[in-house]
Amino acid sequence: MKKNLSEITIIKKVAQLSGWTFEKNSLRKSYVFKDFREAITFILRISYEAEELNHHPEIFNCFNRVEIILNTHEAGNKVTQRDFDLAKAMDSIS
């Protein structure tokens, strides 16, 4: 089982990321792109990172907007280091 992080640790780590928030035991971010095609391309690209980390986010898409929700199911749907690793990988793609 993955070890969940303390709320204090999560808040400190979120402050180091751009645009991410910590709500309802998860990391959340909304990305906005030029159009639908760019949004879908982003989703496809992050799918490779998610597979590499064996960590699969909740992804919501509406036209040019992609919303991501991250938490670790194996840690009781809490935030772990794996969530931050995937968040950083996604930001490097956007």
- Residues composing the chain: 94
45 lies in some domain: yes
89 lies in some domain: yes
Q: Are 68 and 90 in contact (CB under 8 A)?
A: yes
- pLDDT(1) > 80: no
Distance from C-alpha of 27 to C-alpha of 19, rounded to nearest angstrom = 10
Enumerate the active-site residues. 51, 55-56, 73-74, 83
Mean pLDDT of 78-94: 96
Which CATH number do you get for residue 77?
Answer: 3.30.1360.20
pLDDT of residue 41: 98
How does pLDDT run across 7-65, given as a tens digit for each residue? Answer: 999 999 999 999 999 999 999 999 999 999 999 999 999 999 999 999 999 999 999 99
Its domain, for residue 42, covers 7-93
2 lies in some domain: no
pTM exceeds 0.85, yes or no: yes
pLDDT of residue 42: 98
- In total, how many domains does the chain have? 1
- pLDDT(2) > 80: no
Q: Are 70 and 57 in contact (CB under 8 A)?
A: yes
1 lies in some domain: no
